[in-house]
C-alpha cells in the first residue's frame, strides 16, 4: 500500500472529463483533417469539429464558426444520431464557477462571424451512443430560423484540442 486512497484515480476521471468538455483543460495542437465548409444562403459554416471522448464520457460538444453575410438569423436546433439528446449550450459564470446552460437559440448577427468554441457557445451531445474517436466524422443537421436546415460533417479532433485542425493559434478567439 502507498497510503493513498484507492478512489483518488476513480474520482479524478469524471472531473477531467468535465474539464475537457468545458474547454478548461490545456490544449494540444489538433491533427485530424478539418471538415469542409458549407454554405446555406448568406451563412457559411466553417470547420465544424468536436473533441474525442475522454475515457467513457457520455457527453461531447461540437464547435464551428458561422459567418453571416446577410441579415440576422438564429440557430434554433441541431440534430445528430451520435447521442440521445442534442442541445444548444452556452457557458455562464455562476459565482466563481463556469457552468454550461441549455439555450433556446444562438444569435447569428448579420455581417459577422459567430464562434462556437470551447468554454463558450457550442452544440452539446448528451448520452453518446459510442465514444467520439479522433479522426472520425459524423453528420449534424443545423436548423436556422430564416435560412432553413443544412447538414454538416463534424470532424473529431484530439481530446484536448482547443481549435479545429489547421487553425492558426488563437483563431477561435
Confidence check: pLDDT of 34 > 60: no
Mean pLDDT of 131-153: 97
Percent of the chain with pLDDT over 90: 66
Residue 151 lies in a domain: yes
Which pLDDT score is estimated for 17?
A: 44
Neighbouring CB atoms inside 10 A of 144's CB total 22
Its domain, for residue 69, covers: 28-157
Q: Which residue has the cell 470551447?
A: 118
What pTM value is reported for the model? 0.77
Q: How many structural domains is the chain composed of?
A: 1
Q: What is the CATH number of the domain that holds 136?
A: 2.60.40.1890
**Residue-wise DSSP of 98-123:** EEEEEES-EEE-TTEEEEE-TTSSEE
Which pLDDT score is estimated for 109?
A: 97
Residue 96 lies in a domain: yes
Which pLDDT score is estimated for 166?
A: 72
Residue 76 lies in a domain: yes
Confidence check: pLDDT of 12 > 80: no
Contact between 86 and 36 under an 8 Å Cβ cutoff? The reply is: no
Which pLDDT score is estimated for 14?
A: 47
Confidence check: pLDDT of 3 > 90: no
For residues 132 and 165, which has the higher predicted lDDT (pLDDT)? 132
Residue 162 lies in a domain: no
Which pLDDT score is estimated for 25?
A: 40
Amino acid at each position: 500500500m502507498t497510503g493513498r486512497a484507492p478512489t483518488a484515480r476513480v474520482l479524478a476521471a469524471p472531473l477531467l472529463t468535465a474539464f475537457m468538455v468545458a474547454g478548461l483543460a490545456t490544449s494540444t495542437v489538433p491533427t485530424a483533417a478539418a471538415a469542409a465548409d458549407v454554405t446555406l444562403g448568406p451563412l457559411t459554416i466553417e470547420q465544424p469539429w468536436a473533441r474525442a471522448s475522454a475515457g467513457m464520457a457520455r457527453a461531447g460538444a461540437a464547435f464551428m464558426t458561422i459567418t453571416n453575410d446577410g441579415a440576422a438569423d438564429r440557430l434554433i436546433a441541431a440534430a445528430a444520431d451520435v447521442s440521445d439528446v442534442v442541445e444548444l449550450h452556452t457557458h455562464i459564470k455562476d459565482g466563481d464557477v463556469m457552468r454550461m446552460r441549455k439555450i433556446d437559440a444562438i444569435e447569428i448577427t448579420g455581417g459577422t462571424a459567430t464562434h462556437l468554441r470551447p468554454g463558450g457557445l457550442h452544440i452539446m451531445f448528451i448520452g453518446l451512443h459510442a465514444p467520439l474517436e479522433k479522426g472520425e466524422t459524423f453528420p449534424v443537421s443545423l436548423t436556422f430560423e430564416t435560412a432553413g436546415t443544412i447538414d454538416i460533417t463534424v470532424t473529431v479532433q484530439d481530446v484536448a484540442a482547443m481549435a479545429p485542425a489547421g487553425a492558426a493559434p488563437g483563431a477561435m478567439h
